[in-house]
Chain A
Amino acid sequence: DTEVTQTPKHLVMGMTNKKSLKCEQHMGHRAMYWYKQKAKKPPELMFVYSYEKLSINESVPSRFSPECPNSSLLNLHLHALQPEDSALYLCASSQAGQGGPMSSPLHFGNGTRLTVT
């Protein structure tokens, strides 16, 4: 089992809905990430938080809004999504490290499978 917990496991939402994805880790990691993975494709980085501050935004549309309320939690707020946003959304965490947040291995959650109708 992974030490990064994501809820919900599955989510179906309409294009006018507002929903949130949640991620929690208790490993003391100070870097947290959101990735998006389409079927048969590699994960694509969306956001990186380091010490609860947004450090990387990979030009993600504003209909995706990340939030890091504390060092253990990471949310992804969704609003006015499009059907092409349907994907597996993965949360990951790592030690922040002197070399930057990406210098340590990532621990991934099981993901939230999102379907936008």
Chain B
Amino acid sequence: AQSVSQHNHHVILSEAASLELGCNYSYGGTVNLFWYVQYPGQHLQLLLKYFSGDPLVKGIKGFEAEFIKSKFSFNLRKPSVQWSDTAEYFCAVNARGPGRRALTFGSGTRLQVQP
């Protein structure tokens, strides 16, 4: 079975600081990888996704993530955060290939950006 780990549960940054949120997954086969964001009181939104190709993926609002297959990681980065980035961030993975491919979410990282 696949699983996703987000080791940072709560991150507090000042505006303009750089951000890196960790995401590791466990699954031996090929996977699709996603980062979703949930702003306070809003629905889950897709930030970016990786299916194949260039392991450095750019998403909306200046976010990017790098897939490192050897480390089973898909860390989210942003060079300079803004107060409006305050939200909950979820990494998610689903396995490709035969069998069940349910999307599994990590436990989430709450990002708080202080002005």
Contact = CB atoms under 8 A, between A and B. Distances in A.
Interface of A: 2, 4, 40-45, 48, 56, 58, 90, 92, 99-103, 105-111
A106 B44 CA distance: 9
Contacts of A107: 46
Interface residues of B, number: 22
Nearest to B47: A105
Interface string B74-112: 000000000000000010001010001111111110000
B46 A105 contact: yes
B42 interface: yes
A109 B94 contact: no
Contacts, number: 55
Interface of B: 32, 34, 36, 42-46, 49, 51, 90, 94, 96, 100-108
B42 A105 contact: no
B107 A102 contact: no
B90 A42 contact: yes
